[in-house]
Structure 1
Amino acid sequence: MGNNEFSSESQFTRRDLHLLSQSSSKSPLRVIALIDFDCFYAQCEGVRLGLPPSQPLGVQQFLHVIATNYAARAAGLKKVVTAAEAREKCPEIVLQHVPTWREGDTTWRYRDDVREHMNSDKSSLDYYRLQSRKAIQIVKDALPATSRRIEKAGIDEVFIDLSIPVYDVLVERYPELLACESRLPKPLDIIPKWEDDQLVQCEAENEDENPEHDTIDWNIIALQIGSEIVREIRKKILDDLNYTCSAGIAHNKVVAKLAAGHNKPNKQTVIRKCCTGSFLSGYKATKLRGLGGKLGRQVVTTFCVETISDLLRFPLKEMQAKLGTHAGHWVYHVIRGFEDSEVVQRTEIKSMLSAKTFSPSITGVDQAERWLRIFAADIVGRLEDEEGRRPTTIAVHHHIQGRFGPTRSKQAQIPAGPTLDTELLFKLSMELLIKISDETPSWPCLTLSIGVSHFRDVDKSNHLISGFTTPGKWSGSASEGQLYTSGMAKRSLEEPTSNDRPRKYTLLDFQGFSQKPDKVDQTSCPTDANVASHISGREITASDSDRLRRAGKQTVQDSSTATPDAAGLYCCPLCSEQIPDNSVLEHLDWHVALHLRDQG
């Protein structure tokens, strides 16, 4: 390694290095970072308005201030307050109201007359989502596409697994590491350059107890390389967007999360393994990621302590006895800084809702129509964050007496072929609302909303099932055979993706539909024995389609596992989707089409 000398062997092995190259959560060399934007909403507005950071600023949503910058916090505004309270405590504060939607609008916008329309406008956070997407794209662009592993933890937070990028730099700088067959040599004269990083120090009384204290090994070198990468990313965000952000760099997500908030604003904190214990000991247990909710409250109540330092005295067996085997094991280790959850590429949402409570109530379909268009545009804007995922179900929820009164809802499948835009969601929701309105007196209405759910992965080559035989795009309104309030719409042949199907299915997989997927009898077969003996054990072909339909129909009719739930829905054993009884055969056709496509 050039002029660097090595002494005795390192505590790390070639296997640890290999696990690092695979982004394995089991590698003791792994490097995890959390980038956290400083006062994100307020910073977005400060940059947009061209205000200096020294100017107190708050982001207002109707009567309340929901976010403030550091200058306003220095004046005592450290939590959500009313706009009047904010002006009283900090007379020089600038209050910027969030963008809003207004009845009849086609997009959100900033307005000067929000106060006069508080009862009718709908707040929008789309500007902040847009800025978040820009910032996260900078993070993505800074990392090699082949080794990029990031997880959006919130609109202003992103986890990054830097293990592979760190490995690449490590072996480039020190190629001799690749020549080691077992234990790595221990670096002697490599001095990490931390620049402006904030290093948490170990407590003096613990130094003699911790043999790793002040020793340089490859885990520290890996953290230092990770800090270089994060520093460059933060600089790029500042140069391109003028946003500052803080960061935490550690060996796991829990510690990195705490570290990111340890020295705000605009700093990055590195937590070395030897200092993890002293770093965590001063925190309340409920500050740890994973202990902020029900489990954290249970821990505090059960052991009658709040700080991690006090919690450390309880042995593993006692924690498992009082919290349960799994939870007790996890809590015991996480308060000591041991945690190995992976950075997942995406945290998948299950549904989206856009709603408005009206004051006064709206009085008819014509007035509701303008709001449905706003809800549709709101959802479409938020779907941009989903990167290739789209919902397959839309629902309209109608409340005459408000959100806590009786709810009347109808839902439909979203056609898979056309572009999922505002116009499509609007047309579907309008037809559902008209059905609700036609069935029973519905006006005036106090609360109205659109929800989308059942997300699936799709790609740009999205086609209808009819694309196998009929060229051209989907056209026509939802009422022209495309809207099913109790049935299945045509689906994309790109759903689910091939990555979700590790093998080809045979007819034996189509054994019927049950109320719950885990109750499907895996030994039962379709009642059409000829079909089963002819097809089972091989891939489904076009010639099997009709027989598959008949076998599926017979299975639904005769199989003891084919029991609908209270709503008359069956559960597909392949995709676990709830299927109306009159759409089971169409659903089977869709699965067949997927197999035909994959077979070319």
Structure 2
Amino acid sequence: MVPNLPCSARAQQRAILHVDLDCFYCQVEHVRLGIPVAQPVGVQQWHSLIAVNYAARAAGVQRHMTVPEARALCPDLRLVHVATYRRGDTHYAYHADPKPYSHKVSLDPYRAASAAVLRILTMVGPNVQRASVDEAFLDVTDQVDAIVEDLRRAGRLPLVDTPVDSSSGAAGVTGPWTGVASDPVEADGEPEVRTFGWPDLQLWVAANIANYLRARILTDLHFTCSAGVGHNLTLAKLGSAMHKPNQQAVIRLGETLTYMKDLSLPKIRSLGGKIGTDVCQKFEVTTAGDLWTYTLPQLREHFDAERALYLFNICRGIDDSQVKPRETTKSMMAAKSFNPPITSLDSLLEWFKVLCAELHHRLQDEWNSSQRWPKSILFHYKTEHANARSKSGVLP
């Protein structure tokens, strides 16, 4: 245990990382094809873009643009179409001119790259939650505790339990805080950053873990990523977006309210969709700080007790949600929509072959990694008139 820290205080503070791959699909193609980082790149799926790198964004190219729109803004844009299965094939490939009616998209290369990143992240501990194909949360509280204890035993880390001025060193740690902290709080025109003993020490160590992971991912896989470090999932995610690309930021306890005050509500985790819009309209607010003027009873007049408490806390940077390690995959699916509908048995069998091949490759990867094999299979189809039928069976 870390000495001189009440158990109740330690229980309130966790060390959470959010790791976010920068323009992930584009990076996979950069590495695969050896494309220079400065080259504008867009990942294409049929007639539109599903990913663009920072060089392309600088030229005004955005996701979901059509190919002609993107080329008009950036003539030297390098377009890479996602891998596809051609009708009747059993392996995906990068075809020159795939069409929706004759090919099926495969995202397997990105899944494989994501799995490689996840293997590196789990090197520091098992408490890793994959949020999507290109981002993950890590709870490194136990690892931070162990590192601090090792340093304490070695006499290399003095601990501070009371607020100290930043000029004394970050959270009592001898040495500069530079490169770890986010921007200092401005008070009357003067920078003012205060450290708060254990919480800041905790994040200082966690930031070093984040640096290590980012360096390892870059060395082993040649992918850059951004990271956020905070005491909860919301703050960590906000931190990873603060200085992209290929940087990291810490949102410290003493800076949380100042940072949240002017933060747009839709930027907060889980408030970017209908719920966030609903809150902004009902209370005529735009920032987290605007919502501070409403009491918990006032919020309960519009939302149920659980949602009201969540809003009351989250706008102040309080989030007690837990990092949930990745659950084992319970099902897999391979599917294809046809427009116009297919009309011959030969075409059906050719596409059935593609779907079976795609599913088999993913099942084989699952078997190689975890020795798991499915017990049953379900075949489902819809007709042109939306009539649906299903048939299930046992897999040997």
User: TM (normalized to structure 1)?
Assistant: 0.59
CA distance in 2, matches of 1:333, 1:192: 34
Alignment counterpart, residue 308 of structure 1, candidates 273, 288, 301? 288
Is 1:149–1:162's contact at 8 Å kept on the other side of the alignment? Answer: yes
Is 2:196–2:254's contact at 8 Å kept on the other side of the alignment? Answer: no
CA distance in 2, matches of 1:204, 1:123: 53
1:32 is the counterpart of 2:10: no
C-alpha distance after superposition, 1:391-414 (max 9, x if no partner): 55533222221xxx4232213244
CA distance in 1, matches of 2:161, 2:283: 44
Q: Which residue of 2 aligns with 1:127?
A: 109
CA distance in 2, matches of 1:118, 1:283: 41
CA distance in 2, matches of 1:197, 1:390: 44
Query: In the TM superposition, what is the alpha-carbon distance from 1:59 to its structure 2 partner?
Result: 0.4
C-alpha distance after superposition, 1:124-152 (max 9, x if no partner): 111111111111111122x1xxx421000
Is 2:90–2:358's contact at 8 Å kept on the other side of the alignment? Answer: no
Match runs of 1:407-556 below 5 Å: 407-415=387-395, 418=396
1:46 is the counterpart of 2:39: no
C-alpha distance after superposition, 1:429-468 (max 9, x if no partner): xxxxxxxxxxxxxxxxxxxxxxxxxxxxxxxxxxxxxxxx
Q: Which residue of 2 aligns with 1:396?
A: 379
Q: Which residue of 2 aligns with 1:59?
A: 43
User: TM (normalized to structure 2)?
Assistant: 0.88
Q: Which residue of 1 aligns with 2:6?
A: 13
Is 2:161–2:198's contact at 8 Å kept on the other side of the alignment? Answer: no
C-alpha distance after superposition, 1:506-541 (max 9, x if no partner): xxxxxxxxxxxxxxxxxxxxxxxxxxxxxxxxxxxx
In terms of mean alpha carbon deviation, does 342-351 or 93-102 score higher?
342-351
C-alpha distance after superposition, 1:566-592 (max 9, x if no partner): xxxxxxxxxxxxxxxxxxxxxxxxxxx
CA distance in 2, matches of 1:385, 1:328: 41
Q: Which residue of 2 aligns with 1:162?
A: 140
Is 1:34–1:260's contact at 8 Å kept on the other side of the alignment? Answer: yes
C-alpha distance after superposition, 1:32-63 (max 9, x if no partner): 00000000001111121111111001001110
1:202 is the counterpart of 2:185: yes
Task: Indicate the SS of the match to 2:216.
Answer: helix
CA distance in 1, matches of 2:312, 2:360: 43
Query: In the TM superposition, what is the alpha-carbon distance from 1:260 to its structure 2 partner?
Result: 0.6
Match runs of 1:96-135 below 5 Å: 96-114=80-98, 117-135=99-117
CA distance in 1, matches of 2:381, 2:274: 32
Is 1:133–1:385's contact at 8 Å kept on the other side of the alignment? Answer: no
The number of equivalent residue pairs is 381
Query: In the TM superposition, what is the alpha-carbon distance from 1:361 to its structure 2 partner?
Result: 3.2
Query: In the TM superposition, what is the alpha-carbon distance from 1:309 to its structure 2 partner?
Result: 1.9
Alignment CA distance shift 1:195-1:232 (3 Å): farther
Alignment CA distance shift 1:409-1:192 (3 Å): farther
Alignment counterpart, residue 344 of structure 2, candidates 354, 358, 364? 364
Alignment counterpart, residue 79 of structure 2, candidates 76, 90, 95? 95
Q: Which residue of 1 aligns with 2:306?
A: 326
Q: Which runs of 5 or more residues in structure 1 are unaligned?
A: 1-8, 18-26, 178-182, 419-600
Is 2:229–2:240's contact at 8 Å kept on the other side of the alignment? Answer: yes
C-alpha distance after superposition, 1:360-408 (max 9, x if no partner): 432333322221232233234455479656655533222221xxx4232
1:139 is the counterpart of 2:117: no
Alignment counterpart, residue 359 of structure 2, candidates 355, 375, 379? 379
Q: Relative contact order, CA 8 A, sep 6+: which one is greater?
A: 2
Task: Indicate the SS of the match to 1:355.
Answer: coil
Query: Could you tell me which amino acid in structure 2 is paired with residue 120 of structure 1?
Result: S
Q: Which residue of 2 aligns with 1:552?
A: none
Select the structure of larger CA radius of gyration.
Answer: 1
Alignment CA distance shift 1:373-1:203 (3 Å): farther
CA distance in 2, matches of 1:176, 1:32: 25
Task: Indicate the SS of the match to 2:378.
Answer: strand
Q: Which residue of 2 aligns with 1:70?
A: 54
Query: In the TM superposition, what is the alpha-carbon distance from 1:277 to its structure 2 partner?
Result: 1.3
Query: In the TM superposition, what is the alpha-carbon distance from 1:87 to its structure 2 partner?
Result: 0.8
Task: Indicate the SS of the match to 2:297.
Answer: helix
1:263 is the counterpart of 2:243: yes
Query: In the TM superposition, what is the alpha-carbon distance from 1:358 to its structure 2 partner?
Result: 2.6
Alignment CA distance shift 1:207-1:332 (3 Å): farther
Q: Which residue of 2 aligns with 1:340?
A: 320
Q: Which residue of 2 aligns with 1:232?
A: 212
Query: Could you tell me which amino acid in structure 1 is paired with residue 235 of structure 2?
Result: V
In terms of mean alpha carbon deviation, does 303-312 or 406-415 score higher?
406-415
Query: In the TM superposition, what is the alpha-carbon distance from 1:175 to its structure 2 partner?
Result: 3.5
C-alpha distance after superposition, 1:550-574 (max 9, x if no partner): xxxxxxxxxxxxxxxxxxxxxxxxx
Task: Indicate the SS of the match to 2:335.
Answer: strand
Alignment counterpart, residue 66 of structure 2, candidates 82, 85, 92? 82
Alignment CA distance shift 1:378-1:277 (3 Å): farther
Query: In the TM superposition, what is the alpha-carbon distance from 1:353 to its structure 2 partner?
Result: 3.5
Q: Which runs of 5 or more residues in structure 2 are unaligned?
A: none
Is 1:397–1:407's contact at 8 Å kept on the other side of the alignment? Answer: no
Query: In the TM superposition, what is the alpha-carbon distance from 1:16 to its structure 2 partner?
Result: 4.0
CA distance in 1, matches of 2:338, 2:227: 41
CA distance in 2, matches of 1:348, 1:300: 37
Alignment CA distance shift 1:185-1:217 (3 Å): closer
CA distance in 1, matches of 2:216, 2:270: 31
Query: In the TM superposition, what is the alpha-carbon distance from 1:248 to its structure 2 partner?
Result: 0.2
